[in-house]
Amino acid sequence: MLDNIRESRSPLLMEQLSKQKFKRGVQWLGWSGIITAVAAGGILLYSLAIDRSPEPVSVPRINVKLGRIEDTINESGTVELGSQQTLKSPAEGVVEQVRVQLGGLVKSGQELVILRNPERETILTKKELEIQQKEITLARSRQEVVEKEEKLKTAERKLQEFDSQMSPEQLEIRKQELNLANDRAKVTEKEEELAAAEGKLEELKALFDRGFIAANEVRDQEEGVRRAKSALRDARLTVTTKTLETQRLQFQQQQKERELRDAIVSAKLELQKAQFQVNNNTSQLQLSQLDYQETQEKLLNSIVTATIDGKILDMQVKKGSVVKVGDELLTLGDPSQELVKLNLSILNATKVKPNQLARINVIGLDDRGFAGRVETVSPQATGGDNSSGVATVSATVLLSEPSGILIPGSQVSVEIVLQQQEDVVTLPVQAIQRLGKKSFVWVKDNQGLAQKRDVTLGLEGFSTVEVTSGLNPGEEVLLPLPDSPLSPGMPVSP
């Protein structure tokens, strides 16, 4: 069937189809040419744009100079005068006189305030009487010591005399000892006589037994023996009697010596007791005198005097005011010195050291500053237990010269110079570009193009930084603007 349709197509239809195909080919070729031309024009324009030089970028520049660089911290503090202090009441009483005026100058030791307390004066009088009584008691006890010393000397002298001189008792003892020795010799003689009589009696008895002598001779001899025995007994009795008498006298002598020695011991004890009483009375008197002095000092303390040469800054009392111990009376300070009390944060306190340079400015009133130096930094933090819970470290800045215009108690701003370098290459912080740990600046080369230059930094301040290498005084550094970033090789103009 398809073959029949193909055969049925006329030659005219075939011719029309051929013309349409030709027309389409021609249109395609036309558009291809246009596209090629446009592409060629674009390439030409791009090549012209590439070959053309860019316009220079306007960039601020900075001259590299030598200058001073500082690392500082800023704190606020309170102005005080040198040795500023608040004097307090040393005792209870009524203000009888106020001898100074607010703002007046005073000298050290000058009377400022006089207190009155009549009751304390009465107590002082009583203590004076008490001291007098104890002085009398002490005088009596000292007199007693003198008496006891005399008594001891007398006892010692008697014993010395007893030991060194022959007393009647000692003479009697000596006499008895001599008589006793004589009587003992007599006893010996009587014993010998008795022995001789008994020996002769034995001889006579032997002769009588042999019949050579009469019995009456024996009896006479026996009578002689009896008389010898009787004489011996009498001699022995005499020795015994005189021995007892000698012993009695010796005992009396020893007893007297013991009494003399006991008298010395007793006198020493009495003297020690009297001396102890003197010491005790002396201590009591000294305590009373000390108590009197303390009371007197309290009475003298009713006069409050200036502790320094200074200026009266504040007065809390007036005539007639009733004060207690520790109540504030007035405040004074030395106008020849001005200082600032600071409460540093823990972080800043670790950097601050004595003798560092400081600049003092009145907050919000005057740009004029005053020079000073850090005088003290407390080694201990305080205030960590307050309501804020923030611990601070107290420090003092002493002005080099009194300003004469800073008001004690007012707040000031203090700039403390932690480190300082003179005559070094410095740049503003915004001129330094940082890339990781490296730092660089932008400079213009001889062709007027921007280039990077590595630099080494030293001390960094709040607004400036020290350049230790990479730049020299007299060179220029480009300061890129936030809306015009630089790139290497970019043309720049000032």
pLDDT digits (tens, 9 = 90+) for 126-135: 888 888 998 9
Cα-only R_g, the chain: 67
Residue 303 lies in a domain: no
| Predicted local distance difference test score (pLDDT) of residue 440 | 92
pTM higher than the cut 0.85: no
Q: What CATH code is carried by the domain that includes residue 138?
A: 1.10.287
Same domain, 387 and 291: no
Report which secondary-structure segment, H or E, holds 239: helix 215-300
Give the total number of structural domains in the chain.
4
Same domain, 319 and 396: yes
Same domain, 178 and 263: yes
Same domain, 398 and 466: no
Residue with tokens 């301040």: 461
Average pLDDT, the chain: 81
Same domain, 282 and 400: no
Nearest-angstrom CA–CA distance, 420 and 71: 7
| Predicted local distance difference test score (pLDDT) of residue 167 | 67
Nearest-angstrom CA–CA distance, 469 and 407: 47
Same domain, 95 and 156: no
| Predicted local distance difference test score (pLDDT) of residue 91 | 79
Residue 96 lies in a domain: yes
DSSP, res 484: B
Nearest-angstrom CA–CA distance, 308 and 109: 7
Same domain, 257 and 325: no
The residue among 368, 392, 420 that closes a domain is: 420
List the domain range (segments joined by +) for residue 21: 2-51
User: What is the three-class DSSP state of 7?
Assistant: helix
Same domain, 194 and 331: no
Would you state the structure tokens that stand for residue 394, as one six-digit string? Answer: 């107290």
pLDDT digits (tens, 9 = 90+) for 286-345: 998 888 888 777 666 678 888 889 889 889 888 888 888 889 989 999 888 889 999 998
Which residue positions in the chain have pLDDT lower than 70?
Answer: 1-54, 117-121, 165-167, 169, 298-301, 364-368, 384-389, 494
User: What is the three-class DSSP state of 12?
Assistant: helix
Cα separation of the two ends of the chain:
90
